[in-house]
Amino acid sequence: MHDMKQVKIIGKGGPENLDVYEVPMPEPGPGQLRIKVQAAGVNFADVMMRLGLYPDAPKLPAVPGYEVAGVVDAVGAGTSDEWLQKPVLAMCNFGGYSEFVCLDEGLVHQRPPQVSPVQGAALLVNYLTAWQMVRVMAPAGPGDLVLVQSAAGGVGQAVVQLCVLSQSRVIGSASPSKHEYLRQQGLEFVFDSQRRDFATAVKAATGGHGVDIALEPRNGPWIYESYQSMAKCGRLVLFGFSHAATGSSSGVFSSLKTLAGVPWLKLNPIRLMNDNKSLAGVNLGRMWDMGYKTRRWVEDLLVLLESGSIEPVIDSVLPFSRAGEAHLRLENRLNVGKVILVPDSEAGEETS
């Protein structure tokens, strides 16, 4: 049996807890396909897992990674040999930072030949999250005004592209260094993502009306600010809680602080009725049993990707051996778009 390399988180804390290890090659079980991984997406869930803030993560030591792209190199009992050597992309319930992964056939999608492994690994988590928000939970239609926080991140960039397709208008927040880039993408108003009292600015920028949809990945007081940024009939969608993953502290204190800041009493059913507003939540990691829905979403996204209607914005492509650096790009909000990891054996001109 051959060995393979994978990135493991060995303990809670900083990026020094990520390292590359040699482990036995996995064999596909019944109904499974083995994928030779050419690219793996990096997401905030991975960072929060490393910090000990992700409740659904496996116990450490464990392998992060929610999405991969590559080629099928082995099939288990009950699956067709026609999969062999097919280019694919797939969701995985962690474990993606590996040279090979074995996954149930239902989680694997054929990757159109013109879609590169890096593009494929950038698609699933970010675009499915964006799709669930602005196509399913709070559909954005022509002329609707959408506020997306962290607009330059992977999910934010996916939202911007889907809103362009639906002729929706977008405003957003980001670090000041990213504002000009976002204006060039057509955002009508951009503000600093660290600004606490942004509802007033959003109302002023919208002629006093507010937005139709607000997408908020942060915790505590920001949730209520996004709520107050909305017009009547506004829809607030919460996702991520990324602000819990700041600094290199880990554990219970940060998560309690996150929960303590949530305005539970202000966003009660009576308030929602009187304000004519709605509140929704999205956690793609809890959608594993909803393949009959998410499979259709992926198919729709792949059609858009093939036609060039959407195109993942790639921030950087780094080898497994620089996984800690990849995490820091997300954690310190340095990225514009998606951070991708590739096995060192695959690393070449694409890495930067």
Give the CATH fold of the 3-124+289-342 domain: Quinone Oxidoreductase; Chain A, domain 1 (3.90.180)
Q: Considering the entire predicted model, what is its pTM? A: 0.91
Closest CA to 65 of 90, 31, 28: 90
Each domain of the chain, given as residue ranges in start order, spans 3-124+289-342, 126-285
Phi, psi of 317 (to 5 degrees): -125, 115
Strand segments, DSSP code E, in 45-189 are 67-75, 87-91, 100-104, 108-110, 145-148, 169-174
Q: Residues 52-111: pLDDT tens digits?
A: 888 788 899 999 999 999 999 999 999 999 999 999 999 998 999 999 999 999 999 999
Amino acid type, 44 = F
Q: How confident is the model at residue 262 (pLDDT cuts 50, 70, 90)?
A: low
Give the CATH fold of the 126-285 domain: Rossmann fold (3.40.50)
CA distances from 337 to 38, 108, 131, 317 (A): 19, 23, 16, 11
- Of 173-182, 212-221, 273-282, 320-329, the least confident: 212-221
Helix (H) or strand (E) holding 326: helix 323-331
Residue 162 has pLDDT above 90, yes or no: yes
- Mean pLDDT in residue range 293-314: 95
The angle subtended at Cα 259 by Cα 255 and Cα 260, nearest 5°, is: 115
Residue 128 has pLDDT above 90, yes or no: yes
Residue pair 126/314 in contact by the 8 Å Cβ criterion: no
Residue with the two structure tokens 């450490």: 60
Round to whole Å and give the CA distance between 126 and 149: 14
- Mean pLDDT in residue range 115-121: 96
Residue pair 343/70 in contact by the 8 Å Cβ criterion: no
Residue pair 259/220 in contact by the 8 Å Cβ criterion: no
Round to whole Å and give the CA distance between 275 and 78: 54
Residue 259 has pLDDT above 80, yes or no: no
Round to whole Å and give the CA distance between 272 and 113: 47
